[in-house]
Amino acid sequence: MELKRITEYEWELPKMGEMRVPGRIYISAALLKPLLAERGEGGGHEGNAIDQVKNVASLPGIVKASIAMPDVHPGYGFPIGGVGAFDPDEGVVAMGGVGFDINCGVRVLATPFSRKEVEARKEQVADALFAHVPAGLGSEGKLRLTVAEIDEVLKKGAKFALERGFGIPEDLEYVEEGGRMDGADPAAVSPKAKERQFRQVGTLGSGNHYLEVQFVEEVYDPEAARAYGIERDQILIAIHCGSRALGHQIGQDYLQELERASRKYGIPIRERELVCAPIKSPEGERYLAAVAAGINCAFANRQVIAHLVREALAPLFAIPLEKIRTIYDVGHNNVKFERHRVDGAEKTLLVHRKGSTRAFGPGRPENPPAYRKVGHPIFVGGTMGTASYILHGTEVGMDKVFGSGVHGAGRAMSRVKAKKRWRGDQLVRELAGQGIVVRAHSLAGAAEEAPGAYKDVELVVEAAVGAGLNTVVARVRPLVCIKG
C-alpha cells in the first residue's frame, strides 16, 4: 500500500480492496516518516494510524475521502486527527469516530492582565487556580446533582451552568452551538453514566486535561486578532477538558449496542473498534441523541470551570469577574450534521471529528457575528513546555477537510513509554527552570504528559497551514500549567 504524494503537505492513500473512497493525509514528510517507519513492524504507536485511515475509508456511505490531519496518531477505531463525513441516507455513525471523551475541547478566556503583571505573581496565580478548580482522577466538584438535574445538564448544556450562577450571559455567544447541542435525549444515556456524573460537573479531570495561563507571544493575523480581542503580551487562560465519566460511559455502553447493530444490518466488522449503525436506524439515532447529551455535558463542564477561574483570579487582581471574558469554546471528538459542498453541490453530511476540531472559515453562519468575517478561532494545544497556537479555518479547509482543524501537537509516544522515560518531579523542576510553574495532582500523570512525548507542535501547525487548511492568528506560551 503506497502513499502517493500530491503536494508538499498532502498525500493520497489510493482506493483499493474494500475502500470506498481514497485516504487523504495532510502531513509533512517529517511527520509522516515515523508513521511509515513502524508500519512494517506490526504497528508501533504511530504505525497503525495509516491502516485506520484505510479502515475508515471502507465504511458505508463515506463521502469524498477518509481524512487524517497533521497531528494524526493511532486512536480507537478512527485515528486521532481523523475526519470522516457520511451521507445521511447511506452512511453510518461509528462510536470509534467520536471516542470516549465526547466533546473534549478547549475554552480560552481573555484577561485584561499583561505578561508583566502575571510573571511577578505566577506562583500565587498557580496556587489560587490549583486550590479552586477541582482536578485529578475521580475529582469531585461543588455541584451535587440528582438524576433529574443531570438530565437538565444533558438537555441544556452550558445554559444549565449559567442558570446556576456559573458564568455571564455573554459567554454563550462565544461557545460552539451556543453551548447547547440540539437533539440531546437524556433517555438515551444509561443510569450508570448519569450516576458517574453526579459530582463531576465543573471538574478538570486527569490525563491530558489541563488549565494553562498563557501569554500572547506573537500575533500573525492582526485582523483576526482584533476580532478576537487579543494582543501581544496579553494573558489568556486555556481550559482543556471534556465530558468526564459520563462521556466515557456513553462510549462503553454504545460499543456493545453498535456491535449488535453492525451484525443486525449486515455491516462487515473489520475491527471491533469500528462497529457502527446506519444513521437512519433506531440504534444510530439513539447513539446520536446520546452523543448530543454528552456534548452538552462537556459544554456545562467547561462553563463551570471558566467561572471558577474567574473566581480564583479576579480577587487576586482586584477586578470584576466580567473583565475575564470567553474568546471561544470549541470541541473535538464530535459528530454533527453540517452543510458542505460536495462536487459543487451543497448537501447535509454527518461529520465525525475524532481528535479534530471544527474550523469553519469566513462567512459561515454558525460563527458568532463578531467572528463571521474571519472565521472562528481554534486552539491548538502544545505541551506544558512548548508553545500553543490560535488558528482559524479557511475556504480551502472548508473544501478539502469539511471545515476541520488540528487540535493539538498529537502524541508521539504512548503514556506507558513516557512514564518509563521521565519522572514527574524532575519534569516539574525542569519546567520551573524554564519559567513555567506546574501544579500537578499526579506526578506520574505529569510524566505521561512530558513535552517529549508529543510531536513538535511547530511542525503540526506548519503542515496545517502549508496545506492551506488553517491560518495562524497567534502563538502563545505557558506561564502556569495546572495538570489533572
- Burial class of residue 331, CB neighbours in 10 A (0-12, 13-18, 19+): buried
In angstroms, the CA 338 to CA 341 distance is 10
In angstroms, the CA 323 to CA 310 distance is 9
List C-alpha distances in Å: 350 to 339, 397, 421.
9, 17, 41
What angle do the packed helices 29-37 and 49-57 form, to 10 degrees?
90
Cα dihedral angle (111, 133, 292, 228), rounded to 10 degrees? Answer: 10
Q: Has 209 been annotated as catalytic?
A: no
In angstroms, the CA 109 to CA 107 distance is 7
CB 435 within 8 A of CB 384: no
In angstroms, the CA 242 to CA 7 distance is 35
CB 404 within 8 A of CB 338: no
Compute the C-alpha angle 349/13/80, nearest 5°. 60
CB 212 within 8 A of CB 480: yes
List C-alpha distances in Å: 378 to 51, 118, 265, 398.
28, 24, 37, 14
The C-alpha cell that represents 4 in the structure block: 502517493
In angstroms, the CA 10 to CA 7 distance is 5
- Burial class of residue 442, CB neighbours in 10 A (0-12, 13-18, 19+): middle
Q: Which of 45, 248, 307, 407 is catalytic?
A: 407
In angstroms, the CA 292 to CA 98 distance is 11
In angstroms, the CA 58 to CA 33 distance is 24
Where in the sequence numbering do the catalytic residues fall? 407
